[in-house]
């Protein structure tokens, strides 16, 4: 990848990164800002991550696509109201940049409480995510988020094992 920094996205940084950062680093920082806003349950931070126009799209695991900025922000408000705790551990993170569009693919290893979790407990899950960003005058903004649940622990390699 040619990055000067090899530690991946730095937690707690949502800006455009340090001087000397590659474009890939800056996109990874924007990706980290998305997950930081999600974990914080902060609607203002989440609103700042997304590209308002053209219509952004968000697809959560097992749900229909949400299109349009206003509809998406309403959906995030509902998610935050019903998710007391969520934490993401990202693995298999890869970034690609092509001029003013970039995408990050990753595995979301999720720990959460709330709906679907045992009473007084936590639930774990895994999803594969693609986050598409567009470069704007104010930095890279999330345009499309699509997460699909991982239904087996084999990682889709069942054909190879047989």
CATH of the domain at 56: 3.10.450.50
Residue 160 inside a domain? The answer is no
Percent of the chain topping pLDDT 90: 67
Residue 111 inside a domain? The answer is yes
Q: Pick the closest to residue 148 from 87, 62, 64, 72 (CA basis).
A: 62
CA gap 6, 60 in Å, rounded: 29
What's the total number of domains in the chain?
Answer: 1
Residue 88 inside a domain? The answer is yes
In angstroms, how far is CA 42 from the centroid of its own chain?
A: 14
Q: Could you tell me the residue range of the domain that residue 33 belongs to?
A: 23-149
Element (H, E) at 130: strand 123-136
CA gap 84, 86 in Å, rounded: 7
Asked if the model's pLDDT at residue 51 lies above 70, the reply is yes
The predicted-structure confidence for 56-73, as pLDDT tens digits, reads as follows 999 999 899 999 999 999
Residues near 42 by beta carbon (within 8 Å), at least 6 away in sequence? 80
Q: Pick the closest to residue 141 from 49, 42, 76, 69 (CA basis).
A: 49
CA angle 108, 55, 107 (to 5 degrees): 10
Give the model's pLDDT for residue 63.
Answer: 92
Residue 158 inside a domain? The answer is no
Lowest mean pLDDT among 15-19, 38-42, 62-66, 109-113: 15-19
Residue 4 inside a domain? The answer is no
Residue 8 inside a domain? The answer is no
Q: What pTM value is reported for the model?
A: 0.79
């Amino acid at each position: 990848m040619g990055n000067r920094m090899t530690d991946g996205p730095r937690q707690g940084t949502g800006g455009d990164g340090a001087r000397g950062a590659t474009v890939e680093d800056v996109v990874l920082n924007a990706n980290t800002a998305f997950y930081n806003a999600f974990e914080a349950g902060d609607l203002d931070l989440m609103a700042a991550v997304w590209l308002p126009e053209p219509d952004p799209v968000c697809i959560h695991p097992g749900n229909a696509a949400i299109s349009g900025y206003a509809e998406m922000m309403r959906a995030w408000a509902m998610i935050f109201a019903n998710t007391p705790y969520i934490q993401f551990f990202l693995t298999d993170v890869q970034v690609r940049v092509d001029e003013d569009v970039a995408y990050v693919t990753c595995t979301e290893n999720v720990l959460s409480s709330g709906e679907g979790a045992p009473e007084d407990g936590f639930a774990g899950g895994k999803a594969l995510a693609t986050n598409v960003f567009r470069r704007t005058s104010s930095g890279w903004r999330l345009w499309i988020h699509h997460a699909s649940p991982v239904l087996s622990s084999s990682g889709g390699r069942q054909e190879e094992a047989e």
